[in-house]
Amino acid sequence: MKKKIAIVTGGYTGEAVVSLKSAAVVERTIDTEKYDVYKILIYPGNWYHETATGDKIPVDMNDFSITLNEQKIIFDGVFNILHGSPGEDGKLAGYFDLLGLPYTTCDALTSAITMNKGYTKAIVQDVPELYVAKSIQLFKNSAVNMSKVLKELRLPLFIKPNNGGSSIGMSKVKEPKELQEALDKAFAEDSQVLVEEFVDGREFSIGVYHAKGKTTVLPATEIVSSKEFFDFEAKYSPGVTEEITPGRMSEEEVNRVNSIIEKVYTKLNCKGAVRIDYFLEYETAKFYFIEINTVPGQTETSLISQQVKSIGMEVRDFYNELIEEMFEG
């Protein structure tokens, strides 16, 4: 009998639109000869499955089930593709843990920690050969922030919501006069803001996952953007960014990066597929950790999909491995 898999999408943040695009790809790519698939949309106060005829079937929150044609559907596992809250910050993971329902992404603790950029950097900064940009974590949009930031950090700066994703609310600040507007923009998205010094380097994003008893680091993608940085427009607008997979790195850089990435994955107790962004500084080639994404996009052109294809693997087989690993638990 085929296992029943719920593809969880939607969400409570601006990333919901990206989550829906990812879920559409997963739904049509996943191996339906092995699995019966049901897409579950999760919005504040409204969790449901939409039928082919457009009927919205509510989710029974007591056991995360639905009833179709008077038949109760109990899911065997969850393919989590919900970016942002509650799918990426640990809230759904905790709920599924209480139900004893396996899922494809990191556990509640890892998800909660890695959603917080400042806390994540504090944990990984002692990984050998990994560097982090000097930064300040702000917890309130107060008048003292301007002087504190300008006193302790060197321009240019990146200002970003500490718990956000898809570069929403993020700014690059070159002049002191730009700082307050950037802080206001970031605090509009989150109650915590991370301010960090700019690293002048080549930008990369790399996928890593655990399945079949081993951790696989995929080929990195080099990000060459025509924008100041890899912002929301650069990520999701065609032609703004060139994505080179595999990225242009020497053999030494590839080996060093892969070793660091595997250690970060282990240190943070990750599960499933995650994506890690980093810089290689121009002058030194030092590895600077940017952030980790524990529910990476799965659209046709997403970085993870590019990287899976670059090793000669079908995305459908990649999804199979993630699902099978979920059941190994």
Does the pTM of the predicted model rise above 0.75?
A: yes
Please tell me the predicted confidence (pLDDT) of residue 140. Answer: 87
Same domain, yes or no: 157 and 220: no
Per-residue confidence at 329, pLDDT binned at 50, 70, 90?
A: low
Q: What is the pLDDT of residue 159?
A: 94
Q: How many domains is the chain built from?
A: 3
Co-location of 222 and 183 in the same domain: no
Q: What is the mean pLDDT of the chain?
A: 92
CATH code at 261? 3.30.470.20
The pLDDT score that the predictor gives to residue 298 is: 93
Closest by alpha carbon to 187, among 163, 157, 155, 151?
Answer: 163
Assess whether 62 and 141 both reside in one domain.
no
Where among 197, 216, 244 does a domain terminate? 197
116 and 98 together in one domain: no
Whether the per-residue pLDDT at 232 is higher than 60: the answer is no
Most confident region among 7-21, 155-169, 226-240 by mean pLDDT: 7-21
Tell me: do 117 and 266 sit in the same domain: yes
Residues of the chain above pLDDT 90, percent: 80
Q: 82-120: per-residue pLDDT in tens?
A: 999 999 999 999 999 999 999 999 999 999 999 988 899
Within this chain, do residues 160 and 248 fall inside the same structural domain, yes or no?
A: no
Q: What is the tens place of the pLDDT at every residue in 137-147? A: 999 888 888 88
Domain end point (choices 177, 197, 217): 197
Same domain, 120 and 265: yes
More reliable by pLDDT, 328 or 11: 11
Give a three-class secondary structure readout of the chain: CCEEEEEEEECCCCCHHHHHHHHHHHHHHCCCCCEEEEEEEEECCEEEEECCCCCEEECECCCCEEEECCEEEECCEEEECCCCCCCCCCHHHHHHHHHCCCECCCCHHHHHHHHCHHHHHHHHCCCCCEEECCEEEECCCCCCHHHHHHHHCCCCEEEEECCCCCCCCCEEECCHHHHHHHHHHHHCCCCCEEEEECCCEEEEEEEEEEECCEEEECCCEEEEECCCCCCHHHHHCCCCEEEECCCCCCHHHHHHHHHHHHHHHHHCCCCCEEEEEEEEECCCCCEEEEEEECCCCCCCCCHHHHHHHHCCCCHHHHHHHHHHHHHHC
The torsion angles phi and psi of 171, rounded to 5 degrees, stand at: -140, 155
| pLDDT tens digits, one per residue of 287-314 | 999 999 999 999 888 999 999 999 999 9
Q: Looking at the structure, do residues 233 and 193 belong to the same domain, yes or no?
A: no
72 & 86 share domain: yes
Q: What is the mean pLDDT of residues 28-56?
A: 96
175 with 251, same domain: the answer is no
pLDDT of the residue at 229:
52
The domain boundary residue, chosen from 171, 197, 223: 197
Which domain does 124 fall in, by range?
112-130+200-328
Co-location of 94 and 166 in the same domain? no
